[in-house]
Amino acid sequence: MGSRSGSVDPGILVYLLRQNGYTADQLDTMLDNDSGLKGISGVSSDMREIRAAIDQGNTRAQLAFDIYVHRLRSFIGAMLATLGGIDALVFAGGVGEHDASLRASACEAFAFLGLHLDTKKNAQALADCDITADDSTVRVLLIQTQEEWSIAKECWRLGHRDLLRRADSPHLKSSSDPT
């Protein structure tokens, strides 16, 4: 995660409360604002800034990237086990859509499944494309999330539902409505 902690052993929190005198507010700030990529790298929660720091030789930024890739692989592996296999791996969201190196690093661990990226396609990838190598048994897709569109559709649906409910319910109609 960018600035949040992810999984934390609860014993660590109790230790910080008892031994270091942390308050609940301090723990909240640390876990939600000063952890993840930002906490490990000491640089930023933004992967672009992490990558720039890596290019300048920042070892903490490299560690943050390596842990991020490790956790990503772990989650993909857990999903593979839960689902009993994989037909396609989809990258989306800010980092998934814009970081070819991260996609390559995440995918290389799954070569044993026959998953292979096309290096050229991955490097030149635009939204909504297939970046799979011809010999891959698993498709790898890059899909634009379009979060704004999803939010707008949900707002419209909720607003429309409320209008319909008011029209159907006499006690929800406005007092200026003569019907």
Q: What is the pLDDT of residues 90-142, one digit of tens each?
A: 998 878 888 899 999 999 999 999 999 999 999 997 878 899 999 999 999 99
Give pLDDT, residue 151. Answer: 84
Q: What is the pLDDT of residue 145?
A: 82
What is the predicted pLDDT for the residue at 98? 80
Cα separation, 93 vs 38, in Å, equals 18
40-43: list long-range contacts, CB under 8 Å, 24+ apart: 40/64, 40/67, 41/65
- Per-residue confidence (pLDDT) for residue 146, from 0 to 100: 76
Quote the tokens at residue 72.
């990503």
Please compute the mean of the pLDDT values over residues 78-94 and round it to a whole number.
91
Q: What is the pLDDT of residue 42?
A: 92
Write down the H helix ranges in the chain.
Answer: 10-19, 24-33, 36-41, 47-55, 59-83, 93-98, 100-108, 119-123, 147-168
pLDDT in tens, 49-77: 999 999 999 999 999 999 999 999 999 99
pLDDT at 117: 94
